């Protein structure tokens, strides 16, 4: 086969794209659980930062120490316990008229952390207010 022909170049590039795409898909699917765990840990760190608790060694343990409840505020203002898994994306909850409320206790004082979401100039803005 002539390695200087256009067909060789196209076949070679196609084979390389298929191999690289397969490898990227395999790595992405095999690391999905670790990525989800890191997103959850980052969310818990941001909730702790809203409470002015920073530089903790074990964010999971600190979150379990300070956060006493994860509740949902319904559209009518009533609070119900969140029985679902820990949520890291609140856009859908807000769109459905529910708002997450994290009940926390820091130094014997009851505090609340609420996720906020809105439109910014170049994209969505989100964070936590404590």
Q: Pick the residue with more confidence: 42 or 54?
A: 42
Strand order through the sheet with 124-129: 79-81, 67-73, 99-106, 109-119, 124-129
**Per-residue pLDDT at 114:** 87
Q: Pick the residue with more confidence: 99 or 22?
A: 22
**Per-residue pLDDT at 71:** 83
**Per-residue pLDDT at 25:** 96
For strands 109-119 and 99-106, give the pairing.
antiparallel
Residue 117 in this model has a pLDDT that exceeds 90: no
**Per-residue pLDDT at 67:** 87
Pairwise CA distance, residues 43 & 112, whole Å: 15
């Amino acid at each position: 086969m002539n390695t200087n022909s256009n067909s060789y170049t196209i076949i070679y590039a196609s084979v390389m794209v298929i191999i690289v795409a397969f490898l990227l898909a395999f790595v992405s699917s095999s690391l999905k659980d670790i990525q989800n765990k890191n997103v959850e840990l980052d969310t818990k760190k941001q909730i702790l930062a809203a409470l002015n608790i920073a530089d903790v060694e074990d964010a999971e343990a600190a979150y379990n120490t300070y956060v006493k409840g994860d509740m949902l505020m319904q559209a009518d203002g009533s609070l119900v316990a969140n029985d679902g898994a820990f949520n890291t994306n609140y856009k859908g909850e807000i769109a459905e008229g529910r708002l997450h409320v994290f009940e926390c206790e820091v130094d014997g004082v009851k505090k609340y952390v609420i996720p906020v979401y809105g439109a910014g100039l170049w994209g969505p803005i989100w964070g936590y207010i404590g």
